[in-house]
Amino acid sequence: MTYTLRGLEPALFQPLFELDDASLAARGMRRMRADTPVGYPCRISLEDAPVGEEVLLLPFVHQDSRSPYRASGPIFVRRNIREPRRIVGELPPYLALRPLSVRAYDAADDMLDADIVDGAEAAPLIERYLARDGVRYLHLHFARRGCYACRVDRA
């Protein structure tokens, strides 16, 4: 089964880069510079920010529903990403380098199943979940810290 990974819409975040550090802090956000090649995974570009690039660390509601599974958590976003990345049928290094929690949801945004897998081995689990009746979409999370990584839909 072919699947598509979707990055977040940059328009949600770009105005935040114009705020000063005090205004960001008042919103529970922080401006940072990537200081390692792996460790600042951007949820728009679906890749780690390069060393030296400006990112924002901010809270984000990634499961905005009326179900008991409504959820939010911290994410990184990069400044100059103009289009959300779409990736079909493969897992980028951003995901393959990390253990992942794969969570399957139905049309009512209820979680039907979940498992933890090494990111490099996640494709078969993703395909298996998406092939199940009742599964509408998946969320991938970084298993160690639990942070939302991206949404996965059938292609």
For residue range 57-111, list pLDDT tens digits in order. Answer: 999 999 999 899 999 999 999 999 999 999 999 999 999 999 999 999 999 999 9
* pLDDT at position 1 over 80: no
With a pLDDT cut of 70, the percent of the chain lying above it is 100
In the chain, where the domains are located: 3-154
How far from chain centre, in Å, is Cα 93?
13
With a pLDDT cut of 90, the percent of the chain lying above it is 97
Instruction: Transcribe 22-79 into DSSP letters.
Output: HHHHHTT-EEEE--SSSS-EETTTTEEPPTT-EEEEEEEEEE-SSSTT-EEEEEEEET
Q: Which two tokens stand for residue 5?
A: 């990974």
**Average model confidence (pLDDT) for the chain?**
96
* pLDDT at position 115 over 80: yes
Question: What's this model's pTM, rounded to 2 decimal places?
Answer: 0.94
Pairing of strands 47-48, 86-88: unpaired
Are 103 and 73 in contact, with CB atoms under 8 Å apart?
no
Closest-CA residue to 45 (of 17, 6, 74, 73): 6
